[in-house]
Amino acid sequence: MTRGHLDVISRAAAQFDEIIVTVMINKSKRGLFTVDERIDMLGEATSHLPNVRISSWHGLLVDYAKQVGFAAIVKGLRGANDFDYELQMAQMNQKLSGVDTLFVPANPTYSFLSSSLVKEVATFGGDVEDMVPACVHGRLLARIAERKAE
């Protein structure tokens, strides 16, 4: 989770009565953190937002939105490449289920951030402290050190 993610979540939380941040489960990927660890970090980072709940789902996000009764999915967009990809997905989701996707443009302060880029910079010793919430920073450095020791 980057500060860009937190910014989009915070802005969406100001617009809706309830927000569910959903960690998508992809068993074919070996992420840096487990699903449970990601849920814990997200919960800690959003603890100041009383209308935000953290969950996880294996399958199509649009199916989860339908199951919990939400009419919209919120996605942050950093730039044109994100828009091109997310627009196609939004149109497919709407066609499959009637669930709309709302796009939140990235705050320019964070528009260059991606979790993969932050992980790469941190892996090579770069300072990413101001790019991730404090609760993520320590865990990120510790996990990178664990992986290097393996």
DSSP characters over 93-125: HHHHH--EEEEEEPPTTTTT--HHHHHHHHHTT
How far is the first Cα of the chain from the last one, in angstroms, to the nearest whole number?
Answer: 24
CA distance 114 to 126: 15
Which residue intervals of 18-60 are DSSP H helices? 35-45
SS3 for 46?
coil
111 catalytic? Reply is no
78 catalytic? Reply is yes
* Location of structure tokens 């980072």: 45
27 catalytic? Reply is no
CA distance 19 to 75: 12
The active-site residue out of 56, 111, 114, 115 is: 115
The active-site residue out of 3, 38, 78, 119 is: 78
CA distance 8 to 122: 22
State the catalytic residues.
Answer: 5, 29, 78, 115
